[in-house]
Amino acid sequence: MEQRRAAITAIGHFLPEERLTNADLEKLVDTSDEWIRTRTGIRERRILRDPDKATSYMASKAAKELLQKRNLDPSEIDLVIVATVTPDMFFPATACIVAAEIGAVNAWAYDISAACSGFLFALSTGTRFIESGKHEKVLVIGADKMSTIVDYSDRTTCVLFGDGAACALLEPDSSGHGIMDSIEHSDGSQWSSLCMLGGGSLNPSSPVTLEKKWHYLHQEGQPVFKAAVKGMADVAADLVERNGLTGDDIRYLVPHQANLRIIDATARRMGITMEKVMLNIERYGNTTAATIPLCLADWESELRRGDNIVLAAFGGGFTWGASWLRWAYDGTSAA
């Protein structure tokens, strides 16, 4: 009998209806559709405009879709983990609000903050609870309402981000499928190149933090770009090498969707062609913790039991990592 692993057995997702196109952004800042497409690969992103609806709303919608697809009673969920940098509030954790909203009355719940690597870090954490035998059903959600921390007068960041949420159910598998291996890294020495300075215990909210626009995301594009290209390509290559995999063995690379050029560099380093790369950055932009599960949602119907899938991400912190999955089910008909 194979060892007990954690396998993804269902996917759910939610995207707001409203589209913010490059043409819309041309009216807000000094930019062009051509600049955005050639530098990032993005054409449009989704925006949750309703001020009364926060990250927990999108996360709950995604979770409810998953529960419905699997015909699952929410009281069976043991643990809810939400990866986000845009929680509804500092506390309580957004995961607690989501668990209550979806009826996961027997679950404990908490958030993970690892920016664009959030889903991978949450997946790795959830995996340990399944592998150890402590839990049978863990819900891992990546959700971000980035439009609430983006400055729509800053052309260097406002073109990049969008809103969205998606989630995965983890259950035990003893047939050689599921999450086979993962590598996670962080390095806080360059934290200031990608951060939100205001509102925390370092710079509590004040007229000064408001005036300095410290409640918006701040990014130094070039250093982040360089670190992301190296970090994501290296960690994905390390993971496949240490497991004796080659580009031919991999069915899909699922990269964090921050920039098409970073994704291209990662794919080349792994020796895989772009047809094997899940890409939806064009339609959704960078939805931070949601990009990877949103790709899985978009490609779910094409995935087959036994497919080798590599997930890879890089984000603020810095944080970065990769996971190798042997996919556990065919198409959308989960176990």
Instruction: Give the nearest distance from C-beta 27 to ligand ACO in angstroms.
Output: 13
Instruction: Give the nearest distance from C-beta 330 to ligand ACO in angstroms.
Output: 32
Which of the following is catalytic: 13, 286, 295, 308?
286
Instruction: Give the nearest distance from C-beta 321 to ligand ACO in angstroms.
Output: 13
Residue 142 in contact with residue 270, Cβ under 8 Å?
no
- Say if residue 121 is preceded by a cis peptide, omega within 30 of 0: no
- Answer yes or no: 256 catalytic: yes
Q: Which amino acid is at 29?
A: V
Q: Give the integer Cα–Cα distance in Å for 175 and 10.
A: 17
The tokens for 294 are 């949103």
Q: Which amino acid is at 55?
A: T
The tokens for 126 are 């959830």
- Answer yes or no: 177 catalytic: no
Which of the following is catalytic: 22, 96, 116, 158?
116
Q: Give the integer Cα–Cα distance in Å for 77 and 103.
A: 9
Instruction: Give the nearest distance from C-beta 30 to ligand ACO in angstroms.
Output: 7
Q: What share of the chain is helix, strand, coil (3-state, %, to 5)?
A: 40, 25, 35
- Answer yes or no: 243 catalytic: no
Name the site residues for ligand ACO (rule: CB under 6 A).
Answer: 31, 35-36, 39-40, 115-116, 155-156, 159, 194, 221-222, 224-225, 228, 258-259, 262, 286, 288, 314-316
Instruction: Give the nearest distance from C-beta 159 to ligand ACO in angstroms.
Output: 4
Which of the following is catalytic: 96, 195, 256, 295?
256
The H-or-E segment that residue 157 falls in is helix 155-158
Which among 236, 232, 233, 200 has a CA at the least distance from the CA of 315? 232
Q: Give the integer Cα–Cα distance in Å for 98 and 61.
A: 9
Nearer to ligand ACO, 258 or 325 (CB): 258
Instruction: Give the nearest distance from C-beta 59 to ligand ACO in angstroms.
Output: 17
Nearer to ligand ACO, 7 or 20 (CB): 20
The tokens for 263 are 């994704």
Q: Give the integer Cα–Cα distance in Å for 335 and 332.
A: 10
Which among 112, 123, 166, 154 has a CA at the least distance from the CA of 287? 166
DSSP 248: G
Length of the chain: 335
The set of catalytic residues is 116, 256, 286
